[in-house]
Structure 1
Amino acid sequence: MKPKISIITVNYNNLEGLKKTVDSIKNQTYNEFEYLVIDGASTDGSAEFIENNKNNFDYYISEPDNGVYQAMNKGIKAANGEYLLFLNSGDHFFDNDVLKENIQFLGDDNITFFNLQVIENNKTFIKEYPDTLSFSYFMEDTLPHPATFIKREVFQKIGMYKEDFKIVSDWKFFLDAICKFNVSYKYVSKPLSTFYIGGMSSNPENRILKQSEKKEVLKDYTVYAQDLEDVIAYRKTLNNLRSSRTIKLLVKLGLLNKF
């Protein structure tokens, strides 16, 4: 019988982060899942740690790869679960009961996403997401990989992660899945996982590369992009009107309805 969930951890030279992630998964009170670790031939002791803890893994491999997205694709190919969750090294579950408490929400939807606890230096907050996803939403944000369950059949339908991208392949996948292929999704307003800011996409030095990759993706969405520019222009105009002192005074005097 295939497991309901496959949890995939991608790691490269992040031994301490890997230990944190493995402990979090090992301590879950719900354990009807398979666990896969994909390591990129780390040289910091990660490969030895994986070998010494192989009894905790249903599948593991340590070999050179061309980056995080090729490693994630390896995990997809090896996974057997109905739903896949990427909890990469350094990330961890929100608490030990989170799977047991939320397995009930995995049903017919192709993508099920939760809130994400974000930690940056000494700042901690819960990042929430909208009930309804749109093209305009993805122009400003994406879904949280560590808190998103994806049905394995979705990858079979629309393809896996684009391996020649370095930063935005996961964003492209979610954009294509929701806006091009119209896959079903569900939002659960509860925290599932914890993410520490500091990866490639959040590095200021990679900002130019990130924008370049996004620009390439958006070539397939020319019509959407034009419509979005119009929407943004109208939104700016509306916001300017709302902040106008004259408009505020007219609303206060009852000469204009609030908008």
Structure 2
Amino acid sequence: MSLTIITATYNSELTIAKTIDSILNQTVRGFEYIIVDGNSSDNTVQIIQENEHKFETANISFKWISESDNGIYEAWNKGLKLSSGKWVSFLGSDDWYVENAIERYSETIINNAFPVDIIYSNVNLVNNETIIKNINGTWKWKVFKKYMNIAHVGAFHNRIFFDTYGLFDESYRIAGDYELLLRAKKELKTLKIDFISAFMNDGGISNNNVNQAFNETMKAKRETANIPYIICLSDFIIAWLKYKFRVYIN
């Protein structure tokens, strides 16, 4: 059993140190950590270099590259090609694990006797370190085919899943993780650990990003999951109205 965590960075100088610290402070060792930087123009690479020696001391295998890419999903695909773990997780450059996250995932993987594609948990969504939402959904196809209701941050994917269904679709900018998991449709094998494993930074989503997220979600449902257009449109309208209502009351 081997684990890999991949982080994609681009001009992440304000947050990457905290992400790195959360990896170094894990209660277990012996896993692999990979940073794929998109040729940052700020001090991101310098921060990575300043922390590089700490991984060897902590008995954590560490690799990093810095080169231009076409977005987060190309970066994650690069990380996958560099990785050696049988289980792979993706942690954002402004997200961080709790100290026993890898230990809990490791124990679950070791003790689980059934085939699983993805193991996930609960994640706290934060803004300026203030918790604004707990993402704690449980995967069920009838819900998942409508929207991404589980926390993808920090979840571990079985490498066999990528061997079977392929890498991330790099044409996506926001909903590529949802599209990937939709490929298995109702056959996706999931396992939830009911604990908070990570904190995900909200970062303030712009209206343009929200529009793109809705459009990409609809595209994934139609083209990957083969869900009829009228159902996708209905789900889209309901999700959009819910979002607008939340924005209005806040």
Question: What TM-score bracket applies, with the shorter chain setting the length?
Answer: 0.7 to 0.9
- Greater Cα shift, 170-179 or 48-57: 48-57
Q: Which residue of 2 aligns with 1:250?
A: none
Q: Which residue of 1 aligns with 2:143?
A: 136
Q: TM-score, normalised by structure 2?
A: 0.80
Q: Which residue of 2 aligns with 1:100?
A: 103
Could you report, residue by residue, the CA deviation over 1:160-199 in whole angstroms, capped at 9, with x for unpaired residues? 11111111111111222343xx232111111111101126
Distance 1:28 1:137, change over 3 A: same
Distance 1:40 1:227, change over 3 A: closer
Could you report, residue by residue, the CA deviation over 1:121-162 in whole angstroms, capped at 9, with x for unpaired residues? 5344432111x4214334233432223110112111101111
Question: Where does 1:4-83 land on structure 2 (aligned, <5 Å)?
Answer: 4-55=2-53, 56=55, 58-83=62-87
Paired residue total: 224
Q: In structure 2, how many angstroms separate the alpha carbons of the residues matched to 1:101 and 1:73?
A: 25
Question: 2:135 touches 2:151 (CA, 8 Å); kept in 1?
Answer: no
- Greater Cα shift, 61-70 or 213-222: 213-222
| Candidates 113, 124, 142, aligned match of 1:117 | 124
Q: Which residue of 1 aligns with 2:134?
A: 126
Residue segments in structure 1 that go unaligned for 5+ positions in a row: 232-259
Cα RMSD over matched residues?
A: 2.4
Q: Which residue of 2 aligns with 1:215?
A: 218
Q: In structure 1, how many angstroms separate the alpha carbons of the residues matched to 2:198 and 2:152?
A: 9
Question: 1:135 touches 1:175 (CA, 8 Å); kept in 2?
Answer: no
Distance 1:65 1:21, change over 3 A: same
Distance 1:117 1:211, change over 3 A: closer
Task: Work out which of the two has the higher radius of gyration on C-alpha atoms and give 1 or 2.
Answer: 1
Q: Which residue of 2 aligns with 1:257?
A: none
Distance 1:185 1:50, change over 3 A: same
Q: In structure 2, how many angstroms separate the alpha carbons of the residues matched to 1:43 and 1:100?
A: 35
Could you report, residue by residue, the CA deviation over 1:76-131 in whole angstroms, capped at 9, with x for unpaired residues? 1111001001112111012x22322342111442210101111135344432111x
Q: In structure 2, how many angstroms separate the alpha carbons of the residues matched to 1:105 and 1:176?
A: 24
Q: In structure 2, how many angstroms separate the alpha carbons of the residues matched to 1:90 and 1:100?
A: 21
Could you tell me which amino acid in structure 2 is paired with residue 97 of structure 1? N
Q: In structure 2, how many angstroms separate the alpha carbons of the residues matched to 1:215 and 1:37?
A: 30
Question: 1:91 touches 1:193 (CA, 8 Å); kept in 2?
Answer: yes
Q: Which residue of 1 aligns with 2:193?
A: 188
Question: 1:118 touches 1:126 (CA, 8 Å); kept in 2?
Answer: yes
Q: In structure 2, how many angstroms separate the alpha carbons of the residues matched to 1:205 and 1:26?
A: 35
Q: In structure 1, how many angstroms separate the alpha carbons of the residues matched to 2:7 and 2:201?
A: 15
Q: TM-score, normalised by structure 1?
A: 0.78
